[in-house]
Amino acid sequence: MTTDKYAVFGSPINHSKSPKIHQLFAKQTGQNLEYTAQEVNAESFAKSVTDFFVQGGKGLNCTVPLKELAWQFANEKTNRANSAKAVNTLIKQADGLILGDNTDGVGLVRDLTLNHEIELRGKRILILGAGGATRGIISPLLDEKPECLIVANRTVEKAWELAIEFNHSFSGCGFDDLHEEPFDLILNATSASLSGELPPISQHLLAKNGICYDLAYGNEPTAFVQWGKAQNARQSLDGLGMLVEQAAEAFFLWRGVRPETKAVIELLNSARQN
């Protein structure tokens, strides 16, 4: 029996948890596959992806800074990839064409609604940041029918441009423009946490019993998770669950089998507490 080959490409990639997650999924579902992490930058992307698939690779994940390049590379794209203009999952199809998908948004929504039982319908949601991650989560969040969705960004023009691109299905603004009613859910989709920083937001923005969620994650609580706890958020969560859920969706696209995520999230959580 041949072992099917998968990988994650990105830079930096040495701390990626994806190989561990996919090994756990493969073991759990009895799938025979290998999943490696490869340091690939924007310059080497096209050649590395082409070589990978020519050498028999079945599927790839692409992470920072390659998601927009992966979107351009794919022969065919799903609606959610086109809405995000970013691809984190490439699939080699039976006809040899490469399909690009974006599983980040569905991963976030599954983590919020299934793992944490957070209701999104009718809720006021604020996203901080207007980069690649925000592009991927807007449509899946809007599908949940929140009362309102606002994207606030340090560079306000990027938030405005994003709102125009999404036909004003949400409002874009700067951090200083947030003077309205508090929000039930604040999602930090900036990369500020990666350098231990906090986006400049007022404590009045979080509703009583509101929830904070940082898409970033680390071995210690991120600056934004700590901020949420200090505001007495009902829950203040990081993006480890989203990471596992987006991986599970990619695994499902590749193998046609949906792995159980709960045990994998628990295992990664306990590993970082030790």
Q: Could you give the C-alpha distances from 86 to 53, 63, 69, 101, in angstroms and in order? A: 19, 10, 8, 8
Residue facing ligand NDP at closest CB distance: 131
3-state secondary structure of 198: coil
Q: Could you give the C-alpha distances from 156 to 80, 128, 177, in angstroms and in order? A: 24, 11, 10
Is the CB of residue 199 less than 8 Å from the CB of residue 190?
yes
**Nearer to ligand NDP among residue 35 and residue 217 (C-beta):** 217
Least distance from ligand NDP to the Cβ atom of residue 94, Å: 29
Nearest to 106 by CA among 146, 139, 68: 139
- The catalytic position among 17, 20, 58, 67 is 67
**Nearer to ligand NDP among residue 13 and residue 133 (C-beta):** 133
Least distance from ligand NDP to the Cβ atom of residue 92, Å: 23
Least distance from ligand NDP to the Cβ atom of residue 172, Å: 11
**Nearer to ligand NDP among residue 4 and residue 150 (C-beta):** 150
In the annotation, is 17 catalytic? no
Encoded amino acid at 36, one letter: T
Site residues for ligand NDP per CB under 6 A:
64, 104, 107, 129-134, 153-155, 158, 189-194, 197, 199, 215-217, 239, 242-243, 246
Least distance from ligand NDP to the Cβ atom of residue 11, Å: 13
How large is the greatest C-alpha to C-alpha distance in the chain, in angstroms? 61
Catalytic residue ranges: 67
